[in-house]
Structure 1
Amino acid sequence: MRFAHIVLAALILAGCQTTADSPTGDLLTPEQIKTEWSGRPLTATSMNSGNSFSVTFKADGTSALSNAAGFQDTGTWRLSEAGYCTVWRTIRNGAEECFTVRKSGSGYWIYKLNGSLDTKAILS
């Protein structure tokens, strides 16, 4: 039982360390996201898988994603109250997911609504 508590504490601390090491930067408004990203390709890296990909959010609300391995997906995006939301045809089985964005220098740090760092990106 004691071992389980130690493992649980280590996992909690590891999660806190990841959050503490995450860049903070300025939180972008939805309008700033639209102005800075609309029609401009982003090169992004998933914090979960480490995979890199290119994504473009178009002014008409459509989006396109591809990676070096040949994977491609299309979807839609929209501004939300706190940031933006995406729906990809293949990724997450078409379920909508929303994010907030912080800008730090020339980079963007994309967070899930639960506060976990999802993706880091730069304009291509």
Structure 2
Amino acid sequence: MNRPGRRLLVAAALVAAGPLLLAAAPAAAQLKAPPVYNSGLPEKMSGDEIKATWFDGAPMIAVAPDGKQYRMVFSPDGKATRTPVEGKKPKTVSGFWRVIAEGYCSRWTGNNREKCFNVRKSADGSETVVRFGGQIAATWKRR
């Protein structure tokens, strides 16, 4: 298609789509801006706070976003275990942890990739673990 023909085709498409674009404008104007990154979340615990509060060898319950529960133990020596609470034959997985300035990192047997997290305090006594990048990984509770 020659250049003048192409311009005519584009102009016709814009004329035809104009009413649709105008109809969508009010809906687009009602869209809210995305929240500021991590806005409204409680303050992060430091690595030392996490170590003192949670990594003392006492068991805790971790609840994943899908509702699955795990009994977890983070020992002071840098070792960890994770066992599903439910199931006929729950399999315990072992791993390692270390603290960093704004959280902790862990690596579990069978997965050589280390993942790092930050932990945020909550008013009800649970701690919400937020993976770096903002994805919620689990909520921790002590029984």
TM category (shorter chain) comes to 0.7 to 0.9
TM (normalized to structure 1)? 0.75
Distance 1:104 1:58, change over 3 A: same
The runs of at least 4 consecutive aligned structure 1 residues that moved more than 4 Å come to none
The gaps in structure 1 that reach 5 residues or longer are 1-12
Q: How much does 1:23 deviate?
A: 7.2
- Which residue of the other structure, out of 78, 82, 98, is the alignment partner of 1:78? 98
User: Which letter maps to 1:100?
Assistant: N
User: Which letter maps to 1:115?
Assistant: G
Is 1:122 matched with 2:138? no
Q: How much does 1:82 deviate?
A: 1.4
What percentage of aligned pairs have identical amino acids?
Answer: 27
Is 1:60 matched with 2:77? yes
Partner of 1:9: none
The answer to whether the 8 Å contact 2:44/2:102 transfers is no
Q: Which has the higher strand share?
A: 1
Relative contact order, higher structure (CA 8 A, sep 6+): 1
Partner of 2:131: 112
Q: Figure out how many residues of one structure are paired with residues of the other and give that number.
A: 105
Partner of 2:108: 88
Distance 1:44 1:23, change over 3 A: farther
The secondary structure found in structure 1 opposite 2:120 is: strand
Aligned CA RMSD, in angstroms, stands at 2.3
**Mapped partners of 1:94, 1:58: distance in 2:** 20
Partner of 1:46: 64
Partner of 1:26: 43
The gaps in structure 2 that reach 5 residues or longer are 1-30
Cα deviation digits, residues 60-100 of structure 1 (max 9, x gap):
0000110122121000000012100000003xx22100000
Distance 1:43 1:86, change over 3 A: same
**Mapped partners of 2:68, 2:130: distance in 1:** 16
